Structure 1
């Protein structure tokens, strides 16, 4: 056997080979009669009768953290596409992509002279209606004076009752005319307010603090009202000082995710820095298309290190247990529905039934069964050792010395061949 190749074999593989040699010793005896080992007193035993060296370890009590590792998206906390409310030509643009703005800042001005003309027309109509109210009020006042005079004359029988009735009718008509004129003033004021509102729409302002992430039109361009089907917004504004982390939680893990669940965030551009936050809100219901639940966490980004749209890897802390009983996952034996581990008791391999909780492939949580804290678990190729077989427990550190002996034994076997 080539010594150079042997030296490259990992310690774990060598220990596994150690166990295999013990198991296949019967096959070796078929080739050379019966391979035996002589004791100092001259007696001999077959290899099959010898205890199999096995690496053992004890269960560990430690904190168990079950994490969900999943990709996530970093989005602006708020994002708005800004459209024109009215059609017109762009007269002035005050910002561009990357511009940071404050709420209320003027971003763009649209020229709409026809609206200004309509406003002046409505204001003139309002003035006319106000004058009409004054005229109707004066007429009503005159009719009131007239009726008072005719009522006195009627008492003196200086006029006929018919004339008095006609005067009363004229007074009622004057009162109605005043109300009609006042209503027309209200309508005129509403029209003026409506046109003033439309005129305000010619000025596009920022609805919140943020940064301009898109600009789609230039000076002089004609823009249509969003209500008329304009497909492109004037600007896209994003709130970048606060970031919304969006995670899609798989259905199987949904019961373990709630508001307050801790999250660790790894963003490539942060050069190894880990951001820590907690779930701020969840959708509660699952998306029927993906069978995932949306969860969000808020991140402060006043430093500006994170840009909306970045990709992140997150670790969602699904469960954290103190003093959990853990064993190496490789020690677990599965036989149908039976789950067990082999333990060394009095140098004999004993099958010990266990119940497994969380298993990340390296460490497995023991939640039930017959395993004790002080048991010595067989971790090296336990599937090749039968329950009841004699074993020779060794620690991981001791296994390194035995590896050399096994290699020499294998080399001597090759030389004999």
Structure 2
């Protein structure tokens, strides 16, 4: 007979034995209202996450950052050839200078004709032509300025800058590769602000709206409380659940997008019986307590949850008003003696 079998045989043999309870500490079982926490799976995602794309065409001549690099806001991520854009800007600047000179001449002629026309020295047709030329020259200058601004921006696009400080998660191009407008280049996220995403079943939404608060339990044991929630106003047509965004405290360390966490929220209250683990005798999957009946203790089987903070919840086997031994193994020891 093995040691476990002998111990189990001893427990069964002494389960109907009694012992005097005068010197043993006891505990009265009390059913108390506790918050009914609903636990859901959630994933972490970054509030700020983006994929930068090319806004001009050209060949990549410099890559300054790669995957997992930390990038400050405004830093140059990569550079694209700029000769074509520079030449275009120079051409438009020359057109602007020409349009400006013609406008100066047209405005001067219009001013002279305006002074001579009342004296009858200029015909009505010549005055109308001078007026039209002055307006056309002025609009030509505006158009030339717009082309210069566009070319200047196109030249700036040859240096792709980081929209915010963060970490590079994906590089989609190689050095020397030719890119076109709209082609994705690099992806990244900002670690300063994270949120948890979970799916809440439809039947729990009214309760969540009445008490909008979540506890996010991380894998390292930390618990983050948040009341900053965004409950989507529409349900998923397949799962009939609502997506909820839980904004987490800023600058919280060691939060990585894509990791799984637990999200808990209160779903009303329920009556609950809790006992300290010292009141339990556990053998394999069998859990029992010593229930006091009169002046004696009787071994009684119970069904309990996993221990948490030194206590277990009794699911079956006890009711309010029952008295159990505080130290079950002490009772077992006295029975053996």
- TM-score normalised per structure 2: 0.71
CA displacement, residues 230-279 of structure 1 (integer Å, 9 cap, x when unaligned)? 3xx211120112211111112222222138633333332x2x33333335
CA displacement, residues 282-314 of structure 1 (integer Å, 9 cap, x when unaligned)? 113211122111112122363531211111123
Alpha-carbon separation, structure 2, partners of 1:10 and 1:250 = 48
Aligned residue in 2 for 1:127: 97
1:254 to 202, 205, 215: 205
Q: How many residues align?
A: 282
Aligned residue in 1 for 2:285: none
Deviation of the 1:280 alpha carbon: 2.0
> Aligned pair 1:240/2:191, yes or no?
yes
Query: Residue 248 of structure 2: SS of its match in structure 1?
Result: strand
Query: Residue 97 of structure 1: SS of its match in structure 2?
Result: coil
Q: Judging changes above 3 Å, is the alpha-carbon distance between structure 1 residues 311 and 167 closer, same or farther for their aligned structure 2 residues?
A: same
CA displacement, residues 171-216 of structure 1 (integer Å, 9 cap, x when unaligned)? 2211111011111111111111111122222121121222211122
Aligned residue in 2 for 1:292: 241
- TM-score normalised per structure 1: 0.58
CA displacement, residues 320-359 of structure 1 (integer Å, 9 cap, x when unaligned)? x4xx65469xxxxxxxxxxxxxxxxxxxxxxxxxxxxxxx
Deviation of the 1:124 alpha carbon: 1.0
Aligned residue in 2 for 1:170: 126
Alpha-carbon separation, structure 2, partners of 1:202 and 1:245 = 36
Q: Which structure exhibits the higher relative contact order, with contacts defined as CA atoms closer than 8 Å and separated by 6 or more residues?
A: 2
Q: Judging changes above 3 Å, is the alpha-carbon distance between structure 1 residues 259 and 106 closer, same or farther for their aligned structure 2 residues?
A: farther
Alpha-carbon separation, structure 1, partners of 2:52 and 2:76 = 12
Gapped regions of structure 2 (runs ≥ 5): 17-26, 275-312, 333-337
Counterparts of residues 177-256 of structure 1 (less than 5 Å): 177-226=133-182, 230=183, 233-256=184-207
Alpha-carbon separation, structure 2, partners of 1:137 and 1:209 = 50
Q: Judging changes above 3 Å, is the alpha-carbon distance between structure 1 residues 289 and 59 closer, same or farther for their aligned structure 2 residues?
A: same
Aligned residue in 1 for 2:226: 277
> Aligned pair 1:94/2:61, yes or no?
no
Alpha-carbon separation, structure 1, partners of 2:72 and 2:138 = 43
